[in-house]
């Protein structure tokens, strides 16, 4: 925090240290490296549930029973097709908009045909959250195929979200190890407290706007490099290192050159990001099934080497692997193009975003922080022909 004059209130730059919401959705414990979703440590969920179960947990406050899960899967399956107007727009823009730009454009059009868009009824918006979650993978997959000059692959009703995304992306049935690995990734990134994009969504909903507008705003916030977009550079770094024995020289050179080591350090976590552990385990399971563990061994070597070199060159900084290091490993192993890494993060985080939007609807209070004027005063008007 800082002040501009002794008698003025303190300014929390970036709202750092300010508690802006009380929520029972998620707890991010940076000191102990724990992430809790609705009372469940994330390690209790990873590997035991599919993504839709976590989405249900975030929206409803409990894990679904089989009947509730079946209903949700049916609801999302029937909502997965995009409105014709959205498909026409995606076809029109083709390769003119890519990555997060096309995700933002596509998401903003999901209000088409929604006759209850302005309703603040909680039940209506829980149903809307499921619809938006179901449609996000179609936006990402269809837009990518169209940018590559390929035809759209329409979803199959029997697929869950992870399998459906890979099928729409590639047009062939995905293998179960790939589906499981993508599912593990989506579970790991589903929710993470009041970060910049989540806060953006809550601010928009606090004005009594609608969930589609809030989702579009959250996507816009995620696009920024200070928030999203890191797995791509992580993968590039791993590819540049190439082999585990090259890690030490590469990491030292990067640090001595003043460059950031991608995939390390977190604003909240002072220990290893718990999501990194979950994705590392998921990568090990996939490697055991596929027999390909080269990238896994390389990533682990880079993690061990970086932690060692950071402790040597920057002692006391508490810089450890974050979720992005192993996200790059998982998504590359699944076969996802690197330009889709951040859009796929947006798919997973839609569940958390919309859960917070539901929370904000219940809170029903406008988010309106104050500001302090620090500019000049007492200027006198000067006619235009007398100005310098």
Other Cβ atoms closer than 10 A to 307: 16
Which helix (H) or strand (E) covers residue 280, if one does?
helix 274-290
The position carrying tokens 């200027």 is 379
Q: Is 218 exposed, middle or buried (0-12, 13-18, 19+ CB in 10 A)?
A: buried
CA distance 89 to 106: 8
The position carrying tokens 């249900």 is 56
Task: Name the token pair of 359.
Answer: 């929370």
CA distance 128 to 116: 9
The position carrying tokens 């995606």 is 90
The SS3 of residue 94 is: helix
Residues 6+ apart with CB under 8 A from 307: 264, 319, 320, 321
Question: How big is the chain, counted in residues?
Answer: 388
Task: Name the token pair of 12.
Answer: 């929390």
Q: Is residue 199 within 8 Å of residue 363, measured between CB atoms?
A: no
The position carrying tokens 């996939």 is 286
Catalytic residue among 254, 303, 324, 332: 324
Catalytic residue among 266, 303, 332, 356: 266
CA distance 343 to 228: 9
Torsion of CA 192, 343, 358, 199, to 10 degrees: 60
Task: Name the token pair of 204.
Answer: 């928009």
294 a catalytic residue: no
Residues 6+ apart with CB under 8 A from 285: 47, 177, 180, 181
In the chain, what is the greatest distance between 2 CA atoms, to the nearest angstrom?
78
266 a catalytic residue: yes
CA–CA–CA angle 354, 26, 303 (5° rounding): 105
Residues 6+ apart with CB under 8 A from 65: none
Cite the active site residues.
266, 324
């Amino acid at each position: 925090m800082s002040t501009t004059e002794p008698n003025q209130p303190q300014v929390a730059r970036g709202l750092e240290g300010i508690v802006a919401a009380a929520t029972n959705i998620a707890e991010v414990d940076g000191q102990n490296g724990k992430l809790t979703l609705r009372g469940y440590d994330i390690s209790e969920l990873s590997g035991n549930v599919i993504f839709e179960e976590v989405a249900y947990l975030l929206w409803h406050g409990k894990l679904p029973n089989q009947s509730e899960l079946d209903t949700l899967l049916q609801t999302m399956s029937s909502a997965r097709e995009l409105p014709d107007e959205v498909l026409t727009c995606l076809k029109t823009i083709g390769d003119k908009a890519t990555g997060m730009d096309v995700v933002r454009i596509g998401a903003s059009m999901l209000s088409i045909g929604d006759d209850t868009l302005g309703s603040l009824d909680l039940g209506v918006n829980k149903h809307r959250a499921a619809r938006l979650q179901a449609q996000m993978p179609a936006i990402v997959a269809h837009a990518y195929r169209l940018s590559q000059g390929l035809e759209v692959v329409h979803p199959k009703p029997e697929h869950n979200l992870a399998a459906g995304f890979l099928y729409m992306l590639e047009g062939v049935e995905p293998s179960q190890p790939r589906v499981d690995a993508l599912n593990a990734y989506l579970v790991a990134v589903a929710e993470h407290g009041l970060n910049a994009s989540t806060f953006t969504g809550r601010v928009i909903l606090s004005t009594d706007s609608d969930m589609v507008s809030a989702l579009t705003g959250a996507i816009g916030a995620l696009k920024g490099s200070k928030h999203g977009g890191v797995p791509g550079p992580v993968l590039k770094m791993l590819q540049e290192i190439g082999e585990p024995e090259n890690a030490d020289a590469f990491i030292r050179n990067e640090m001595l050159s003043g460059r950031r080591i991608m995939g390390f350090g977190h604003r909240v976590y002072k220990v290893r990001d718990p999501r990194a552990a979950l994705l590392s385990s998921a990568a090990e399971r996939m490697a055991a099934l596929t027999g390909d563990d080269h990238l896994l061994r390389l990533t682990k070597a880079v993690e061990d080497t970086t932690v060692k070199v950071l402790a040597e060159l920057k002692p006391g900084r508490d810089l450890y692997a974050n979720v992005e290091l192993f996200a790059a490993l998982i998504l590359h192993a699944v076969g996802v193009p690197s330009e889709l890494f951040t859009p796929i993060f947006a798919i997973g985080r839609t569940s958390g975003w919309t859960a917070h939007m539901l929370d904000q609807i219940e809170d029903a209070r406008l988010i309106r922080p104050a500001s302090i004027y620090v500019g000049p005063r007492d200027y006198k008007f000067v006619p235009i022909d007398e100005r310098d």
